[in-house]
Structure 1
Amino acid sequence: MSSVRTPKQQRSIQTKHLIVKAAFHLYAQKGIHGTNSKEIAEKAGVSIGSFYSYFKNKKTLLLEILEDFLDRTYLSIWKDMGNFTLNELGRDGIRFIINNVFEAYDLAPTFLRQTHALRYSDPDINRVYERERNREVTQIRFLLENNKHRMRALDQEAAALVIHNAVESVAHTAKLIGPKMEEKRLVNELTEMIYSFLLREDTPQ
């Protein structure tokens, strides 16, 4: 089998895009385990040989799609932070970020649900998710560092992980598991919880 190549010409880039798009669609329709490489190639309108010229196997394709999806998720969560003064983060800024997390769960909920479930049985998928967790926690810690003059929390590294896990857990449960509750109520309580956990009582709101 020929080695996997990186597309450089527009036609090759388009072919790879068609494969990725077809796989994403079939994963949502049939499930990740219910989809094979031949079906992806057929859906994309390319030969199976073309599939293997861009991806070693279905697993490498899945990992690339997952990494791209998590990049889009990250950008969705941290968008428009320039609207806030980073070293004077208050309730509005905290609420804005939490709302973005909830909205990010709507980007591709079926794909998210399937890959989340595979974290516990597939070390490669878990590694991708752990890298993303570390990136999110690093970003939260950056915000805490910028507000350390107002902070009640002393261990900022631990605080960043606690905040990340709390928001992720509530959003994940609300969006993918249930029971259903009005999101605004959940966002408001998370905002108050994090604000009270982090910032001193004399901090301006």
Structure 2
Amino acid sequence: MAADGRRLRPRKQPKQARAEITRQRILRAAAHVFTEYGYAAGTTNRIAEAAGISIGSLYQYYPNKDAILAELTAQHLDAGMAAGARVRSGELPESLDAVLRLFVRIVLGNHVEPPEYLRVLAERSPRTPQVMAMVQEHEDANIAYLREVLETHPEVRVADTATAAVLIASTLELVVHHVASRTGPAVDRDRFENELVAMMSRYLRGEAEPPGPTA
């Protein structure tokens, strides 16, 4: 495990602005290459070429493409965590539907990349301890905040707010990611947003028919 961690760790931590510019150029180029060619054909040679640097220069920063992908994944998670933190530090709209719409838009805003790129992040990114810790931190913060919102909002009628918070957080992340990364005809964003808000709102208001007793 320790060897794997070293294999995925960036080799050079930029200390000068010039080095940081090069690092960001590599990451942008890698995102483009993974989108265009996928993971398997997204080689370090192609990434270096897209970044306009030599392969030797790329290896001064990253030992392999998995290390680059791990950092791209960390950036994606960072953006989602920052967006969530901004929501938690501000005031929410009054109506439940407006609150849910805000949450949907925040998650949609973190899935604006091309579907091909989102699939590479989800399916091929190394599950490093750093990445998994970020995922857990992000989920825990979202669920805790959602539970607080659900417990205090006057329009919420669902009895088990702890379970509801887990369901809403999971629905937001998984459904939005699946729709944003799917192949085939694009889903109308406004219609998708409206239907997702309506689905969650009906559940939280207790408007859906409860399941009958199990045999």
For the superposition of Structure 1 and Structure 2, which TM-score range results when normalised by the shorter chain? 0.7 to 0.9
Structure 1 unaligned regions, length at least 5: none
The equivalent residue for 1:138 is 141
Report if the CA contact (8 A) 2:114-2:181 is conserved.
Answer: no
The answer to whether residue 160 in structure 2 is matched with residue 160 in structure 1 is: no
List per-residue Cα deviations over 1:165-192 (Å, max 9, x = no partner): 2233432343333675543333223223
The answer to whether residue 103 in structure 2 is matched with residue 100 in structure 1 is: no
Q: CA RMSD in A?
A: 3.3
1:197/1:128 CA distance change after superposition, 3 Å: same
State the aligned residue count. 195
Larger mean CA deviation between 152-161 and 72-81 belongs to: 72-81
Q: Give, in angstroms, the shift of residue 142 of structure 1.
A: 1.1
Q: Output the TM-score relative to the length of structure 2.
A: 0.71
Report the AA paired with residue 145 of structure 2.
F
CA distance in structure 2 between the aligned counterparts of 1:175 and 1:103, rounded to whole angstroms: 10
The equivalent residue for 2:213 is none
Report the AA paired with residue 35 of structure 2.
A
Report the AA paired with residue 44 of structure 2.
S
Q: Give, in angstroms, the shift of residue 7 of structure 1.
A: 0.7
Q: Output the TM-score relative to the length of structure 1.
A: 0.74
The equivalent residue for 1:176 is 181
CA distance in structure 1 between the aligned counterparts of 2:62 and 2:49, rounded to whole angstroms: 15
Report if the CA contact (8 A) 2:84-2:142 is conserved.
Answer: no
1:175/1:24 CA distance change after superposition, 3 Å: closer
CA distance in structure 1 between the aligned counterparts of 2:42 and 2:203, rounded to whole angstroms: 45
Partner residue of 2:123 out of 117, 126, 142: 117
Structure 2 unaligned regions, length at least 5: 1-9, 208-215
The equivalent residue for 1:191 is 197
The equivalent residue for 1:7 is 14
The answer to whether residue 39 in structure 2 is matched with residue 36 in structure 1 is: no
CA distance in structure 2 between the aligned counterparts of 1:153 and 1:37, rounded to whole angstroms: 51
The equivalent residue for 1:68 is 75
Report if the CA contact (8 A) 1:5-1:53 is conserved.
Answer: yes
Report if the CA contact (8 A) 1:74-1:136 is conserved.
Answer: no
Aligned residue for 2:127, secondary structure, equals helix
